Chain A
């Protein structure tokens, strides 16, 4: 049998199926020991703390159940505050659990492309989150991938396991430090949801104008499990391509993908979501709202693959084009492999309707105020599946992220 390492080595120059081919040699692989551990998130500089807060990482750790912070390639902070959930670096988890390799590269293929291969071959980093059977924790776990230096190539291999009957909420923020312009981030995330478990995963990206980003995400779901993903990208980036895929293998599984994308300057954003409905009565709803400004280009993809009876899926993508130099391409795909399943999609791309602007102007708003209200409203999708308090907080994080729009 070919080893994982061999497969990775063979794929190390393999171009991804979609997205621009990033030359990873332009960036330096950072040393895992480049940054020292800190005792408290409070020890960070004010600028770093502000950046973390803007992506939902609370440095006072209030209303959080655990924290994880990776700076460049170094794990700098881990704090577990509640029993029932284990958070640690992936490297440490591999030492602790000899069964963990069974969860590596099962939801994402190691030889999918050069990004997955590079993650395997590089220094082990990333986080491991596991909720023990029956744990139901409302307070979210927070994790952050932080790039603190220019030209850094950051990789992370994250493993998230929700054991049977457990329910957790994860808020993850990814960001570059205020002074960093140029970097690459590759984040492999593999989620495993056991029977009757639930994960809500809210991810805020806050990169800089010269940052290339290649997240690679797979989600494997057993019976009656629920996976909810809220993804928010409202800050500039050079080139981002991601196509997270949920394998709804179990019966009665539920998947929600919601993405809010704002393209600025010359950002290229190619963001999709895919659900493979393998389980009887599995369901998926995928919603994307995208706005394009300046010379940005956004491609939103959606792929629903119905392979089991009573499977249901709906895909919705709405795009608002705010400048003539920007583009939004929407590519929805529906694939049905059996009878007795139901897939649908709805997509619309356009500009802000003049009638809406005029309506708000007739209520006393200026043209700019009206446009801004419409754009914010357009991006304001209901957060599904979160407890009320957390939904409110997620909204706040979104609002914070949209500030200045």
Chain B
């Protein structure tokens, strides 16, 4: 099992947000997390990442057999967790290219070689070198933010990836491009993929391209339904989250 969450309860500033979440994601699986605004989807992501504000009051997070519930964020990232944010903050004076070079943990013979690699990755997401020299997320368009997020994961190559609304605010042409790289990151075309993913989407449009194996509906901090993504999406489209 890649990720195993059991009976997870989480408080943020004294307010209980997650109320006994159970979730198992195996290698090769991609799960979709659905639910209304405020249900706790992003909180679940932030808790898996171990941000200090998200206090686990009960339950456990096991990653690759190791209890990571009390590990620091950077330790979890080192173990292979990765995330794309929905609305990442701009960081003035920090160039995207420099961040990519820090995130890429592969060994390179020289700084030039690393530069070339990073530029090559950028081209895959139609982000040219000039773009890579911009400050992280500063003045990026909606689509550029999403592509920049994926680009950072391409450099990082995590094993378990959380995608927070990778398709929101993105035009159709770019949804296809983004989907292609998500498939790539999750190694979905390989039957023996060792990677796993958890994806939040509102529109579900991206699921036309990215193959999700399971779907969960999260309401009021609890998973209320788990099953086939298409079935669940279709029910939600018909009658909203209440019925699903």
Contact = CB atoms under 8 A, between A and B. Distances in A.
B203 interface: no
Interface in A382-400: none
A353 interface: yes
Nearest to B78: A364
Nearest to B135: A377
Interface stretch (A126-134, A229-237, A355-363): A355-363
Interface of B: 46, 49, 51, 53, 72-74, 77-78, 83, 85, 88-89, 91-94, 99, 102-103, 105, 135, 152, 156
Interface string A319-332: 00000000000000
> Which of A362, A363, A369, A377 has its CB near the most chain B CB atoms (within 10 A)?
A362
Contacts of A365: 74, 102
A355 B51 CA distance: 10
Given A353-B89, A356-B89, A364 B77 contact: yes
17 contacts: A354-B53, A356-B89, A358-B49, A360-B99, A361-B51, A362-B49, A362-B85, A363-B156, A364-B74, A364-B77, A364-B78, A366-B74, A369-B74, A377-B91, A377-B135, A379-B93, A380-B93
A354 B73 CA distance: 14
Given A358-B51, A377-B135, A363 B103 contact: yes
Contacts of A93: none
A338 interface: no
A213 to B, nearest CB: 27
A362 B94 contact: no
A152 B51 CA distance: 51
Contact of B94 (A358, A366, A373): A373
> Which of B74, B83, B152 has its CB near the most chain A CB atoms (within 10 A)?
B74
Given A359-B89, A359-B91, A373-B94, 19 more contacts: A356-B91, A360-B91, A360-B99, A361-B49, A361-B74, A361-B77, A362-B73, A362-B85, A363-B152, A364-B74, A365-B74, A366-B74, A367-B74, A376-B93, A376-B94, A377-B92, A377-B93, A378-B93, A381-B93
A362 B53 CA distance: 14
Contact of A363 (B51, B53, B72, B102): B102
Contacts of A369: 74
Contacts, number: 61
A362 B85 CA distance: 10
A374 interface: yes
A372 B177 CA distance: 34
Contact of B99 (A355, A363, A367): A363
A358 B72 CA distance: 11
A354 B52 CA distance: 10
Given A358-B51, A362-B83, A364-B74, A378 B92 contact: yes
A361 B102 CA distance: 12
Nearest to A369: B74
A377 B95 CA distance: 8
Contacts of B88: 359
B69 to A, nearest CB: 17
Interface string A80-107: 0000000000000000000000000000
Nearest to A365: B74
B8 to A, nearest CB: 19
A158 B200 CA distance: 64
Contacts of B74: 361, 364-367, 369
Given A377-B92, A381-B93, A361 B73 contact: yes
Contacts of B152: 363
Contacts of B51: 358, 361
Nearest to A364: B77
Nearest to B93: A377
A251 to B, nearest CB: 33
B85 A359 contact: yes
B24 to A, nearest CB: 23
A380 B136 CA distance: 13
Contacts of B135: 377
A171 to B, nearest CB: 22
